Structure 1
């Protein structure tokens, strides 16, 4: 079921980790096991204080590596002798955080960030060690770190839906969403697969993508196991392609297996082009709506009103759309209304742009250039969606070439049938590979440059919780001769290894 929380980043709380000095280490170990607290590191501009573990790690090897934290204080000399760089790296990280603690008498505290939904469970976890998690007011002028819903981890009732998690790389590849902004993961994923489907419209090829998604879901091949979480994304793209193929009447090309339910791309390219540009216009309007909300959440009504990605830019866009409609429909009244709306939008955008300049004649010239660029960009962005039709036509043309070659060879006896089969298989394999790559890249380009450029004006800071695997030795506490160890995070056992 849809939840309102999925349209905004995970809510963060400013916290302090407080513990008696003797219990601080165990408290931090439990924080690492919880894996959902980002701890502020001391930044004073001076040289870093190197602790015993960090010094031994430097002697052992150069360069950073994976860190494992020992639950009990280890013998650092023994770790160095045995070459346990992973445990030394974990201790070095612990030393860094211990060194950043603020101490008052016998009590120490560290500040950080924690998702609100994880506060209660984390507080209960560290209470067993004598620590406490204390909510703090958010510092003025400091934005919390961003954690998208599709990236969040936690108890079963807080884990993100599989589909949402598979769409998240679309957003994180572009950048980090500011904490105040909307989380566009779900609508961005839907827009992407729709655009991909229009360009890759073939029911046969779409079914192949669905089959590939099922293979990924099964964890095959093993080398691609890291891609398993993306299987819903691949399945959605395959479904969109199959539905577009049904509309086009394409099944491994114009084979006649399916009737044309909407249009045949090669027969009605103008109609397909009009539909592509119309879809682009709708997506841009939605992007402007989200941009207005983001500007309002970031800087209040003034930022939302004067920004070219806010109300001012949306007014220019709608006014230009009305002008285009007046030409298309031959209705002068639409042109008059559109021109008035464009003028109002440019006036507000000019005020916002001029406020960001040094003023004077130079500022006026700079503002004029920015307004001209905004108008040109709107027009070019709308026209850019014509590539949905262009690459859809390319896909259909490749399918037609392969099918024409297949049918021309099939009538030349048994040998011709064999060659025709080979041409059909190899031709479709080549078309599938090339067009899947091209459609994927072009849909990503439209997503980033035409849509995301209106959603985001700044970039946030990603949430980086401290969660090295914690190793519990079954031998003497802190010893290095234990026969077996168990590494855990806050989500349960990770692995067993010989220590």
Structure 2
């Protein structure tokens, strides 16, 4: 069962980092080490930043690698002489945040965002040096940044979130989910695996994918170690392909090892085609349901009612689907009910679309074109799922060709047996590689264009916490009484004028 907090992005809190001026640097160092707070900057951190570390880093004319932050205020001159661009880059980032602070007397404040589950731990982390993390009311009209459950920057959690972490790239590649929307990560992964399995239906090939997933989990081969977090995603796709192959009776082709539990693709292509279209129709209905929920969460009942990806679009879709289904089954009398539902949906969608135009005859024409496009898209999107059957048939045909060639060579004596074995291995390797690529791309295409286009109407802003490794440098390098970066940046901020204060 999916818990409520896993059905939406990680809950964010607007926070303020408050600390005495002398304790601000150490508070920020601890925040950077924790990596759980996104801090608002007064400027973009570009050429406008002229702090001491930034100037020294620019003089070195060397591209810094991974930025590192020094725990104690370092001797910037010594770092420049030693060519420590990593520490200078870390100090530059620190200067940007120190310069963005709003100062009042001896206190300084920085605003930002923090996951709700991390507020307590972060507050305790900086309390030891005199800082405080204060929860603020979120500003009106400003959406918090989005962090999906299981993302790399999400708070550490139970091993079950390993699966969600492997599926996060499936959603983030499409775009950033708006903060108000549902988190589609887990359902999207399940749907992707099902569609992939239908097109890659071979139990033998599916088991090879599962074995590949287990190798990735073990960190083998080492050159693919970076892909280790994706092993649950690969295992899910392999399991779906194995189950589909068992239903088709395919095990490295029509070898007869497995009985046909449902249908043989090459013998009943029309039945497979009808099943693929029905599956697509069901998935589109689910996508419309999620779209209604998202429109409601984004803009309330009116937005959900009139949007083409909300109730209006869902009614139009269901009405047209009912008409097509009744005509297909020969129940034309019941098609009238579907037509009424479609007209209601068309009317609601027309009202919503017309409200976004400039009005008048031009607005009416624009609305008519958009309504026609919506109806055409519904039909084309449903038919598009026929590719599940088409590529499933292609996979089965390749398997049959390889198996027929193998059996033909095996009847030609000992040399034929060797040739048959080579034919079987090479043919299945080619079919596995080609079809895995094709099925993977086509499942992604269906997910993005047919389903996600109904879930999302806009894009959110990703949560980017400030996180740097902290280095404990010797006192000799840090210097006995070096000027702090906070003092230098404070002077620069005073020269520029006070930073604009935010009103949460």
Give per-residue Cα distances to partners, 1:294-340, cap 9 Å, x unaligned: 00000111110010000000000000011011101222332111111
Higher relative contact order (CA 8 A, sep 6+): 2
Kept in 2, the 8 Å contact 1:118–1:154? The answer is: no
Deviation at 1:82, TM superposition (A): 1.0
Kept in 2, the 8 Å contact 1:325–1:334? The answer is: no
Aligned counterpart, 2:93 = 93
Going from structure 1 to structure 2, the CA distance change for 1:479 and 1:158 (only over 3 Å counts) comes to farther
Aligned counterpart, 2:478 = 478
Matched ranges for 1:463-474 at <5 A: 463-473=463-473
Give per-residue Cα distances to partners, 1:338-394, cap 9 Å, x unaligned: 111111101110011111111111111000000000000000000000000000000
Matched ranges for 1:313-324 at <5 A: 313-324=313-324
Could you tell me how far apart the structure 2 residues matched to 1:45 and 1:88 are?
14
Q: Which moved more, 1:320-329 or 1:97-106?
A: 320-329
Aligned counterpart, 1:298 = 298
Deviation at 1:477, TM superposition (A): 6.5
Could you tell me how far apart the structure 2 residues matched to 1:456 and 1:60 are?
46
Going from structure 1 to structure 2, the CA distance change for 1:215 and 1:64 (only over 3 Å counts) comes to same
Kept in 2, the 8 Å contact 1:72–1:477? The answer is: no
Is residue 59 from structure 1 mapped to residue 59 from structure 2 by the alignment?
A: yes
Could you tell me how far apart the structure 1 residues matched to 2:222 and 2:70 are?
31
Kept in 1, the 8 Å contact 2:406–2:421? The answer is: yes
Q: Which moved more, 1:36-45 or 1:420-429?
A: 36-45
Matched ranges for 1:406-445 at <5 A: 406-445=406-445
Is residue 365 from structure 1 mapped to residue 369 from structure 2 by the alignment?
A: no
Aligned counterpart, 2:307 = 307
TM-score by length of 1: 0.94
Could you tell me how far apart the structure 2 residues matched to 1:272 and 1:288 are?
24
Aligned counterpart, 2:489 = none
Aligned counterpart, 2:491 = none
Kept in 1, the 8 Å contact 2:287–2:451? The answer is: yes
Is residue 240 from structure 1 mapped to residue 254 from structure 2 by the alignment?
A: no
Q: Which moved more, 1:147-156 or 1:453-462?
A: 147-156
Give per-residue Cα distances to partners, 1:435-460, cap 9 Å, x unaligned: 00000000000000000000000000
Deviation at 1:473, TM superposition (A): 2.4
Kept in 1, the 8 Å contact 2:45–2:96? The answer is: no
Matched ranges for 1:113-262 at <5 A: 113-151=113-151, 153=153, 156-157=156-157, 161-262=161-262
Aligned counterpart, 2:264 = 264
Give per-residue Cα distances to partners, 1:192-235, cap 9 Å, x unaligned: 00000000000000010011001100111111111000000000
Going from structure 1 to structure 2, the CA distance change for 1:449 and 1:243 (only over 3 Å counts) comes to same
Going from structure 1 to structure 2, the CA distance change for 1:216 and 1:388 (only over 3 Å counts) comes to same
Q: Which moved more, 1:332-341 or 1:451-460?
A: 332-341
Aligned counterpart, 1:485 = none
Aligned counterpart, 1:488 = none
Kept in 2, the 8 Å contact 1:151–1:160? The answer is: no
Kept in 1, the 8 Å contact 2:10–2:147? The answer is: yes
Matched ranges for 1:39-78 at <5 A: 39-43=39-43, 48-61=48-61, 63=63, 65-78=65-78
SS in structure 1 opposite 2:472? strand
Could you tell me how far apart the structure 1 residues matched to 2:449 and 2:153 are?
30
Q: Which moved more, 1:320-329 or 1:207-216?
A: 320-329
Going from structure 1 to structure 2, the CA distance change for 1:135 and 1:149 (only over 3 Å counts) comes to same
Q: Which moved more, 1:321-330 or 1:366-375?
A: 321-330
Deviation at 1:475, TM superposition (A): 5.2
SS in structure 1 opposite 2:135? strand
Kept in 2, the 8 Å contact 1:150–1:160? The answer is: no
Aligned counterpart, 2:498 = none
Could you tell me how far apart the structure 2 residues matched to 1:44 and 1:57 are?
17
Give per-residue Cα distances to partners, 1:414-445, cap 9 Å, x unaligned: 10000110000000000000000000000000
Kept in 2, the 8 Å contact 1:13–1:135? The answer is: yes
Could you tell me how far apart the structure 2 residues matched to 1:201 and 1:40 are?
50
Q: Which moved more, 1:56-65 or 1:266-275?
A: 56-65
SS in structure 2 opposite 1:349? helix
Aligned counterpart, 1:329 = 329
SS in structure 2 opposite 1:326? helix
Give per-residue Cα distances to partners, 1:77-125, cap 9 Å, x unaligned: 1111111111000000000000000000000000000000000000000
Deviation at 1:150, TM superposition (A): 1.6
Kept in 1, the 8 Å contact 2:75–2:477? The answer is: no
How many residues of Structure 1 are paired with residues of Structure 2 in the alignment? 480
Give per-residue Cα distances to partners, 1:158-190, cap 9 Å, x unaligned: 676111111111000000000000000000000
Aligned counterpart, 1:342 = 342
Kept in 2, the 8 Å contact 1:31–1:122? The answer is: yes
Deviation at 1:49, TM superposition (A): 3.2
SS in structure 2 opposite 1:114? strand
Kept in 2, the 8 Å contact 1:319–1:338? The answer is: yes
Could you tell me how far apart the structure 1 residues matched to 2:161 and 2:441 are?
25
Could you tell me how far apart the structure 2 residues matched to 1:2 and 1:180 are?
18
Aligned counterpart, 2:490 = none
Kept in 1, the 8 Å contact 2:13–2:113? The answer is: yes
Could you tell me how far apart the structure 2 residues matched to 1:370 and 1:49 are?
48
Kept in 2, the 8 Å contact 1:316–1:343? The answer is: yes
Give per-residue Cα distances to partners, 1:267-314, cap 9 Å, x unaligned: 000000011000000000000000000000001111100100000000
Structure 1: stretches of 5+ with no match in the other structure: 481-499
Q: Which moved more, 1:64-73 or 1:49-58?
A: 64-73
Deviation at 1:64, TM superposition (A): 5.7
